[in-house]
Amino acid sequence: MGKLPDEKIELLLTTPGTAIGSSRFPLEQEQYEAMVSVLKKHHIKYVLFNGGNGSMDTCGKVSRACQGEDIFVVGIPKTMDNDISIIDHAPGFPSAAKYIATVTKEVGADVKSLPIHVCVIEAMGRNAGWITASSALARKNPGDAPHLIYLPERNFNEEEFLADVKKLYEELGGVVVVVSEGLRNEKGESIVPPIFKTDRAVYYGDVSAYLAELVIKKLGIKARSEKPGLCGRASMALQSEVDRKEAILVGREAVKAAIEGKTGVMVGIRRTSGEAYQIETPLIPIEEVMLHERIMPEEYINERGNDITEHFVQWCRPLIDGDLPEMVSFKDEAEHQLRSRI
Amino acid sequence: MGKLPDEKIELLLTTPGTAIGSSRFPLEQEQYEAMVSVLKKHHIKYVLFNGGNGSMDTCGKVSRACQGEDIFVVGIPKTMDNDISIIDHAPGFPSAAKYIATVTKEVGADVKSLPIHVCVIEAMGRNAGWITASSALARKNPGDAPHLIYLPERNFNEEEFLADVKKLYEELGGVVVVVSEGLRNEKGESIVPPIFKTDRAVYYGDVSAYLAELVIKKLGIKARSEKPGLCGRASMALQSEVDRKEAILVGREAVKAAIEGKTGVMVGIRRTSGEAYQIETPLIPIEEVMLHERIMPEEYINERGNDITEHFVQWCRPLIDGDLPEMVSFKDEAEHQLRSRI
């Protein structure tokens, strides 16, 4: 492939997915070894891996296979799921967080103007609740959406969910609930019963549709579901600026590291202490990253398991470029004016 | 309610839903008559209705009830569904069109970078396919998403759908389909079998989830569904500028008309002939608007019923502020370079 003009390279900043393509093809040990001879044959000295836990695992295995050769292998973290361990957060996540916070605020305004139903928004992240939790950044004033947040880190309890929804519906009229696509019950099974099976896999319905149905059936309250799905990981308009800058930075640092002869490392993101948000990008031995999947720590989840804590909000806020745009409700303004006259 | 400061009024431009609130409460004839005495008692001379077909129907009935009184009733069209008759389009629709076109382009880039599945995006608009059709504006080059578009104006044929999906999957790997939430079969019934009934209503599953399931079951191809739902009518970032300007304009014209003593009219939007896009805002007798629901005309739908026509694209393009942002795919660039060397 020839050299691309700068204006094409610039388009990477506003192109969702990956311009280099991707695959889901699992590699065997012989293939790792075969790769070394292919790289040598073509005089390829630098190999960069861009992705999440799966890609970093592959990155580690390739770097092992290349040991002793004149080949340098470096990982560049990128996963909206934010489940790479050791680092403060992974590039991609801040934009996914900004997306879910923004749409939750917007849907909250929509539901508030016609408060007749319960609206269940489904967020991506099957095993880790980072994205789902970020919806909390939509809140500014008491009563703002999201009113309930359910993460995959906690077993989902239908009775408690229904009780919480009922209480909030009676209070507010319109209720916005944000749930992870991977909610499981106390047995560790999907809360949605399987709808059918093929030779290869079991298929479940959508968590959001299932819960909306449950609200209608058990509480007799109108309910609907929204599942932005891929729209949430592909949105350019709601890209976080912090995220974009950091993604460029870790890519650049990875190239630098490889050229300087580093190998078997991933570029990390570490938040420096101090009041203003700032990061540094240490190189982390890839072996350390390969071992763990990172889920939401207990201190970020409230006791009842239907919300996050202020700790999480403080950690997440700087990643989405600060406050979201303001909105207005004449009902709120009227109430505010009434209160201020008393 | 007191006077709001200008900076609060400005926030209307970036607030989804409606700051004045809304309702779904159907009125009886006596209530229309009672309304007249309430209006007179409070010396209310001007009544403005903002909404779609339902609101314009109410607007017409209130204006009839107020005949002969010193009360002036004017309609301001607004419905993302775009189903108000007579006018070129309704405020709200251009933004919904820009939203669906943008997310289809973005999801298209995502699917292209990992082309392993069929992705079914569900668009709002149960009886009219305007929003679903607008996804076509995502296309720029041959092979771009959306690859198939299904509108509620045509009966849905599952066999043809599966044949079309299979062919495109074999050709492209990743397929993006956009469907209306209200697809019906040749009997006029929802294509999704009912999942349960309450005393008040029958509930159906989501069309997108149903079709993704069908692809997996019948074709053995991976499939998933996205249903942005309310996110699509509440998005501020993807608001159309043309739409925002026109919404302000028709509101202003309605106030002017009422003050000038006009009543029983709705402010219309008529596209002037000429090359550049321009509109005028004639007052339309509300009786004319009340009679019809506007669906996509035949000339905007292709023969097989799995796509729209170039006519539709030409009509719709000016409403979404022209071209969408560009994106880049290294695979496309490589192929392009190869071709240009031959």
B167-193 pLDDT per residue, tens: 999 999 999 999 999 999 999 999 998
CB B231 to CB A116 under 8 A? no
CB A217 to CB B196 under 8 A? yes
| Residues B228, B267 within the same domain | no
- CATH code for the domain in which residue B208 is found: 3.40.50.460
Question: How far does Cα A28 stand from its chain's mean position?
Answer: 29
d(CA B249, CA B91): 10
Alpha-carbon distance A155 to nearest alpha carbon in chain B (angstroms): 25
B19, B119, B325: residue with CB nearest A14: B325
Using DSSP's 3-state secondary structure scheme, residue B89 falls into coil
Mean pLDDT of the residues in chain A: 94
Asked whether the beta carbons of A308 and A136 are under 8 A apart, the reply is: yes
Residue A165 neighbours by CB under 8 Å, 6+ apart: A118, A148, A175, A177, A215, A219, A221
Does A1 map to a domain? no
- CATH code for the domain in which residue A261 is found: 3.40.50.450
Task: Report DSSP state, residue B27.
Answer: P
Q: Could you give the percent of chain A with pLDDT greater than 70? A: 99
| Residues B312, B224 within the same domain | yes
Asked whether the beta carbons of B214 and B158 are under 8 A apart, the reply is: yes
Alpha-carbon distance B302 to nearest alpha carbon in chain A (angstroms): 27
Does A74 map to a domain? yes
B17, B227, B328: residue with CB nearest A8: B328
Q: Where are the alpha helices (H) located in A149-196, listed in sequence order? A: 158-172
Does A329 map to a domain? no
Among B230, B233, B235, most A C-beta atoms within 10 A, so best to mutate, is B230
**Beta-bridge partner residues of B204:** B194
CB B106 to CB A231 under 8 A? yes
The Cα angle at residue A213 between residues B180 and B135, in degrees rounded to 5: 15
Please report the pLDDT score of residue B1 as a whole number: 47
For residue B228, the chain A residue with the least C-alpha distance is A228
Asked whether the beta carbons of B280 and B272 are under 8 A apart, the reply is: yes
| Residues B137, B213 within the same domain | yes
Please give the order of strands across the beta sheet that includes A46-51: A46-51, A72-77, A265-267, A283-285
Asked whether the beta carbons of A318 and A295 are under 8 A apart, the reply is: no
| Token couple for B83 | 């189903």
Contacting residues of A for B9, CB less than 8 Å apart? 328
Quick check: A104 pLDDT over 80? yes
Q: Which of B81, B83, B164, B243 is catalytic?
A: B81
Structural domains counted in chain B: 2
Contacting residues of A for B114, CB less than 8 Å apart? 17-18, 21-24
Provide the b/e sequence for A144-183 (b: ≥16 CB within 10 Å). bbbbbbbbbbbebbeeebbebbbebbeebebbbbbbbbbb
Does B149 map to a domain? yes
| Residues A250, A114 within the same domain | no
Please report the pLDDT score of residue B115 as a whole number: 86
CB B327 to CB A103 under 8 A? no
| Residues A244, A308 within the same domain | no
Does A105 map to a domain? yes
Question: How far does Cα A227 stand from its chain's mean position?
Answer: 14
| Residues A146, A261 within the same domain | no
Closest by Cα among B116, B244, B240 to B176: B116
Strands B265-267, B283-285: pairing is antiparallel
Mean pLDDT of A90-97: 98
Per-residue pLDDT of chain B (342 residues; tens, 9 = 90+): 458 899 999 999 999 999 888 887 888 989 999 999 999 999 999 999 999 999 999 999 999 999 999 999 999 999 999 999 999 999 999 999 999 999 999 999 999 998 889 999 999 999 999 999 999 999 999 999 999 999 999 999 999 999 999 999 999 999 999 999 999 999 999 999 888 887 778 888 999 999 999 999 999 999 999 999 999 999 999 999 999 999 999 999 999 999 999 999 999 999 998 889 999 999 999 999 987 889 999 999 999 999 999 999 999 999 998 889 999 988 888 888 888 876
> What residue type is A101 in one-letter code?
A
Does B58 map to a domain? yes
Q: What are phi and psi of A176, to 5 degrees?
A: -110, 120
CB B233 to CB A110 under 8 A? yes
Does B22 map to a domain? no
Residue B78 neighbours by CB under 8 Å, 6+ apart: B50, B51, B52, B55, B90, B91, B92, B247
Residue B134 neighbours by CB under 8 Å, 6+ apart: B96, B97, B98, B100, B101, B316, B320
Which pLDDT band, with edges at 50, 70 and 90, does A1 fall under? very low
User: What distance, in Å, lies between the first and last C-alpha atoms of chain A?
Assistant: 72
For residue A119, the chain B residue with the least C-alpha distance is B230
Asked whether the beta carbons of B289 and B114 are under 8 A apart, the reply is: no
| Residues A85, A216 within the same domain | no
d(CA B188, CA A337): 51
Q: Where are the alpha helices (H) located in chain B, listed in sequence order? A: 6-10, 29-41, 53-65, 93-113, 130-134, 158-172, 207-219, 230-234, 241-259, 286-290, 310-316, 330-341
| Residues A72, A215 within the same domain | no
Asked whether the beta carbons of B131 and B81 are under 8 A apart, the reply is: yes
Asked whether the beta carbons of A77 and A91 are under 8 A apart, the reply is: yes
| Residues A157, A227 within the same domain | yes
Please report the pLDDT score of residue B2 as a whole number: 58
Catalytic site positions of A? 81
| Residues A30, A161 within the same domain | no
Mean pLDDT of A30-47: 95
Contacting residues of A for B238, CB less than 8 Å apart? 237
CB B327 to CB A14 under 8 A? yes
- Residue A231 burial (CB count, 10 A): 28
Does B1 map to a domain? no
Structural domain range at position B79: 28-90+239-290
d(CA B200, CA B213): 28
| Residues B265, B193 within the same domain | no
For residue A20, the chain B residue with the least C-alpha distance is B330
d(CA A121, CA B158): 29
Quick check: A203 pLDDT over 90? no
Please report the pLDDT score of residue A164 as a whole number: 98
Please report the pLDDT score of residue A342 as a whole number: 66
For residue A326, the chain B residue with the least C-alpha distance is B11
d(CA A306, CA A162): 11
Region of residue B51 (phi > 0: left; psi between -120 and 50: alpha; otherwise: beta): left
Please report the pLDDT score of residue A274 as a whole number: 86
Please report the pLDDT score of residue A6 as a whole number: 92
Please report the pLDDT score of residue A338 as a whole number: 80
Among A126, A231, A235, most B C-beta atoms within 10 A, so best to mutate, is A231
| Residues B66, B119 within the same domain | no
